[in-house]
Amino acid sequence: MLDRKFIGYEFEPSERTISRWKITQFANAIRDTNPIYYDLNEAKKQGYKDIPVPPTFFTRMAYSGKKNFYATLGIDYQKLLDGGREFKYYSQCVAGDTITYQTKVENFVEKEGSRGKMDIVTAITRGKNKETNEKIFDAIITLIVFH
């Protein structure tokens, strides 16, 4: 059972500047051929200031801070199942933007299933544009940790 003192725990904020090359690399890896991810002119033609990020690009930013998320919370990988992801979008991020993001442990809830007792862990990472302070995304992670 995870230590309840970590409910509400906030990791250090991090920041990252989004490059065109990283977006293009990501789009290629997911085999998305939409030209807005490869061609600046095409992105601009479709109303973007620069090359936009695909919706799950922020998966790289699911955890902020220098400390390892799992080690900090005392989560054993052998007892861990990924329960799913949720993204909320507030404004479009494009290449050249610098994003600051921070992870907070939202809750631990104990449940009992066919494999015995478990903690359902939810953590939220909020990302915003460093210059404009505009909210960009929330990434919510749900993890299942067996006792």
Partner 1 sequence: MTNKIINYKELTEGSELPEVKSDPITRVQLVDYASASGDYNLLHFDESFAKKTGLKGCIAHGMLQMAMSGSYILNWAKGGTLKNFKIRYSAPANENDILTFKGKILKKYQEDDEKLIEISVLTETQEKRITTQGSAIISFNT
Residues forming contacts to partner 1 in the complex (CB under 8 A) are 22, 25-26, 28-34, 54-56, 59-60, 82-89, 92, 140, 142
Residues in contact with 73: Cβ distance below 8 Å, sequence separation at least 6, in sequence order: 2, 3, 6, 9, 105, 121
Can you tell me the distance from the alpha carbon of 136 to that of 128, in angstroms, rounded to the nearest whole number?
5
Nearer to partner 1 among residue 22 and residue 130 (C-beta): 22
**Least separation in angstroms between CB 133 and partner 1:** 20
What's the start-to-end Cα distance of the chain, in Å?
5
Helix (H) / strand (E) element for 63: namely: none
Q: Tell me the closest approach of the beta carbon of residue 34 to partner 1, in angstroms.
A: 7
Smallest separation, CB 53 to partner 1 (Å): 11
Smallest gap from Cβ 21 to partner 1, in A, equals 11
> Shortest gap between Cβ of 5 and partner 1 (angstroms)?
28
Q: Which is nearer to partner 1, 46 or 98 (CB)?
A: 46
Cβ nearer to partner 1, comparing 23 with 73: 23
Spatial contact of 108 and 2, defined as CB atoms under 8 Å apart: yes
Please give the Cα distance from 101 to 15 (Å, whole number). 6
Query: 56 or 68: whose CB is closer to partner 1?
Result: 56
| Closer of 4 and 49 to partner 1 (Cβ) | 49
Residue 144's SS3 state is strand
Determine the 3-state secondary structure of 40 from DSSP.
Answer: helix
